[in-house]
Amino acid sequence: MTQALDRWIYAGQARRQPAAIGSVTPSGRQLAARLALPAAELPAGGRILEVGAGTGAVTRMLLRRAPRASVTAVEPNQRFARLLAQRYPQVSVYPAAVQDAALSGGPFPFVVCGIPFANLPTAEVRAVLGCLRRQLADGGTLTWFRYLGAVATDRVLGRRTRERRAANRVLLQNFCREFRTAHRAVVASNLPPAEVFTLRGRGLAGAGRMG
């Protein structure tokens, strides 16, 4: 029932704000599980920041993998943020964009990012990445994802959109190179299929290795 309700709410918000939402359906279970996987490594009381929490598909998995962790969720969509606060009273929910939120509790050893980077203005992508750098603890872990097939989709878009999305990809590639390791995993079962990046050890010796 919860998943069906989430899909209905998500689709409605996606019609109103397609660029900000990024998809017509929440992250599937396999994608959420992959994004939340490092949470199991945290000790009791470990701090997690989820950026772009949506209706809570990943939040639910984070709480399952790390039930004694302290979770902070940032979600600019007001409908989604209210839903998160109602469902997960143990989570600190900030109803704002991460670059505008006055976050407490950071920096965080684990950050999960669900921002639809491909759809955003390049200046906003740069601002979000700056926030992620500040909020991630030294040596911490960050997971984020992108939908597969974006480059092929770009071919049918206008020139300015193609150029913006290409610039965003360069920013993200450079961001990944700041980390000691960047592991990629494909979640083909998601709708649409997605690629998950697990980044570890930002600023440590040997940054830039992709696996």
Tell me which residue range forms the domain holding 184.
Answer: 27-210
Q: Is the pLDDT of residue 175 over 70?
A: yes
* pTM score: 0.88
pLDDT digits (tens, 9 = 90+) for 79-121: 999 999 999 999 999 999 999 999 998 899 999 999 989 889 9
pLDDT band at 197 (very low <50, low <70, confident <90, very high): very high
Q: How many structural domains is the chain composed of? A: 1
Q: How far apart are CA 15 and CA 76, in angstroms?
A: 16
Structure tokens, 159? 């020139």
**Is position 86 within any domain?**
yes
- Residue 67: which CATH number? 3.40.50.150
Task: Report which of 86, 91, 46 is spatially closest to residue 72, judged by C-alpha positions.
Answer: 91
What DSSP letter does each residue of 154-206 carry, written as one string? HTTS-HHHHHHHHHHHHHHHHHHTTEEEEEEEEETTSSS-EEEEEEEEETSTT
**Is position 19 within any domain?**
no
**Is position 57 within any domain?**
yes
Report how far apart, in Å, the C-alpha atoms of 178 and of each of 22, 78, 202, 207, 210 are.
26, 33, 6, 6, 11
**Is position 63 within any domain?**
yes
SS3 96: coil
**Is position 201 within any domain?**
yes
Q: Is the pLDDT of residue 25 over 80?
A: no
Nearest 5 degrees, angle CA 80-CA 32-CA 96?
30
**Is position 17 within any domain?**
no
**Is position 15 within any domain?**
no
pLDDT digits (tens, 9 = 90+) for 120-174: 999 999 999 999 999 999 999 999 999 987 655 666 668 888 899 999 999 999 9
Q: Is the pLDDT of residue 204 over 80?
A: no
List the beta bridge partners of residue 136.
Answer: 108
Q: Which residue has the higher pLDDT, 206 or 129?
A: 129
pLDDT digits (tens, 9 = 90+) for 3-17: 665 665 655 555 666
